[in-house]
Amino acid sequence: MAKSLDGVLTKKANKKETFTEEQIQDLAKCMDEKTGYDYFARNFAYIQHPTQGKLLFKPFEYQERLLQSYHDHRFNINMLPRQTGKTTCAAIYLLWYAMFNADQTILIAAHKHTGAQEIMQRIRYGYELCADHVRAGVINYNKGSIEFENGSRIVSATTTGNTGRGMSISLLYCDEFAFVQPNIATDFWTSISPTLATGGRAILTSTPNSDEDTFATIWKQAEDKFDEHGNEQELGINGFHSFRSYWEEHPDRDEKWKQDELGRIGEERFRREYDCEFLVFDETLINSLILGEMEGHQPLVNMGQTRWYKKPSSEFTYAVALDPSMGTGGDNAAIQVFELPSYEQVAEWQHNTTAIPGQIRVLADICSYIVKETDSDTGLYWSVENNGIGEAALIVINDFGEENIPGLFVSEPIRKGHVRKFRKGFNTTHSTKITACSRLKTMVENEKMIIHSKPFISELKNYVATGSSYQAKLGQTDDLISAALLAIRMMAVLKDWDPRIYNTFTQAEEITDYDPPMPIFISSNY
């Protein structure tokens, strides 16, 4: 044996060796195309147990099935509970694959740098303790990559939008793929897919996070195994084989363990990390257990970009709220329509390339449609946010003619001393946003507000605590939520005018267990 530069035992490349008959049989069994990985894992793969130290790998039954899934299928997606040995299984299989398949490039992509290093550390540990007559010699050996004498190599990297671009990848392994930022995961998968299409293989492994991220999308398509004739297939419609295990399959876990863990981490985290339910990981405004149960509906009718979920009726009052934008392809402008006092979402509109004059025309069209269906404009109220770009919206409304938009333009009262003044529209501050968020949370969680829109629910799943407020995750949008928050602030004004709204809105506000996110204080020493 020879020592590498960093002092770790490795095997010198291209060295002449003498083998016994038994060693030759070991090599032959490890090289078997069907069962080689299993023989290697059971006889030569050592792992570092957290309490027992060095151990020869003895796979549990579900780990045997996981390794077989890796080997038998070109594309694998695996959903497993926390601490069930999924990373250990992956490290063993990737090490075997590199040493016994020539000229392969294996890319390990993890959601964090520490995650990529952890997988490589386990591969290095397994390699260094492997019997010398079985393991391959190495040409390059470091913390981020290993290159073997047979031309194969293992490379680790953090998952980014460009990870793996330009590489000829034979086998891709993605660790905790559900926890990669959504926009990065989308860009990464778009970038890497053409490489895999040329013959590469892929293993995606994670505990679940949101039910709308790239991992969840691939999983759901892999679970859709029925063809056009209703016959069940082995692979999903996307060509992936799905595999999952359950915490009960681990021999050291029983009902007592479950109760202890529930007491330690709570039901929400247990259901996500051990029951593998698609619950949002981050601190969302709406409880993630409730978000997991929310299902949107297809619109009753689409009128241009406006989605109508319910036909307006003369029995109800309507609040129409516009959150304007520049309309230059960046943020969306959004409109929400709610029926009062049922607080049921009736319609919504969003677009990112409609200029402000067009946004006001859409607002006017929506209001005109409500008047047409209800034969009255006395129960119709509308407003806009007047922050920043909202000032331009007020100018357009003035030019368009406020009287040409059916219904009553609602504005937020502003008190200055004992004088009560009005400014057109609503001005959003940190305080008014947090108050509206609190009301939205209370009404949704206590089923006082009915939401039909799938895009709106999708935004709620990505609306997370940031500092002492809430906003969309990086790469996501929250314009539909902003319009809904404006509608809720309109309701708070309208309750002083309409007894029905006052009674129902007040009842919804009375259920208050809302705690705003704690601010983060950073001290500096000068």
Collapsed DSSP state (helix, strand, coil) of residue 66 = helix
- What CA–CA distance (Å, rounded) separates 489 from 321? 10
- What CA–CA distance (Å, rounded) separates 336 from 314? 19
Collapsed DSSP state (helix, strand, coil) of residue 49 = strand
172, 109 Cβ separation under 8 angstroms: yes
Burial of 21 (0-12, 13-18, 19+ CB in 10 A): exposed
Asked: is 2-206 a CATH 3.30.870.10 domain? The reply is: no
Paired tokens of 227: 């063809």
The reply to whether domains 2-206 and 293-510 share a CATH topology is no
Number of neighbouring beta carbons within 10 Å of residue 283:
12
- What CA–CA distance (Å, rounded) separates 278 from 259? 21
Longest dimension (CA), the chain: 99
Cα separation values, 506 from 386, 442, 489, Å: 26, 11, 13
Q: What is the pLDDT of residue 288?
A: 82
**DSSP symbol at 297:** B
Collapsed DSSP state (helix, strand, coil) of residue 146 = strand
340, 318 Cβ separation under 8 angstroms: yes
pLDDT in single tens digits along all 526 residues of the chain: 444 444 458 888 888 888 899 999 999 999 999 999 999 999 999 998 878 888 999 999 999 999 999 999 999 999 999 888 889 999 999 999 999 999 999 999 988 888 888 999 999 999 999 999 999 999 999 888 999 999 999 999 888 877 777 788 899 999 989 888 878 888 888 888 887 777 889 999 998 887 778 898 899 889 887 655 456 678 888 889 999 998 999 998 999 999 999 999 888 888 888 888 887 667 889 988 888 888 889 999 999 999 999 999 999 999 999 999 988 888 899 999 999 999 999 999 999 999 999 999 999 999 999 999 999 888 999 999 998 888 899 999 999 999 999 999 999 887 655 555 567 899 999 999 999 999 999 999 999 999 999 999 989 988 988 878 899 887 788 999 999 999 999 999 999 888 888 888 877 666 545 455 544 333 434 3
Number of neighbouring beta carbons within 10 Å of residue 97:
22
CATH number of this structure's domain 293-510: 3.30.420.240
Closest CA to 323 of 494, 484, 470, 492: 484
End-to-end, the C-alpha distance of the chain in Å comes to 55
Collapsed DSSP state (helix, strand, coil) of residue 290 = helix
Give the residue extent of every domain in the chain: 2-206, 293-510
Cα separation values, 49 from 53, 72, 83, 85, 330, Å: 5, 27, 12, 10, 50
pTM: 0.64
**DSSP symbol at 136:** P
Placement of tokens 């250990």 in the chain: 88
Cα separation values, 208 from 20, 84, 124, 223, 303, Å: 47, 14, 28, 14, 36
Paired tokens of 339: 């029926």
Collapsed DSSP state (helix, strand, coil) of residue 382 = strand
**Tens digits of residue pLDDT in 178-218:** 888 878 888 888 888 887 777 889 999 998 887 778 898 89
Paired tokens of 206: 């994670």
CA atoms within 13 A on the CB side of 304: 14
* Mode of pairing for the β-strands spanning 105-110 and 171-175: parallel
Residues 6+ apart with CB under 8 A from 499: none
Residue 419 pairs with which residues in a beta bridge? 416
Number of neighbouring beta carbons within 10 Å of residue 104:
22
Within 113-152, strands assigned E span 138-141, 145-148
**DSSP symbol at 479:** H
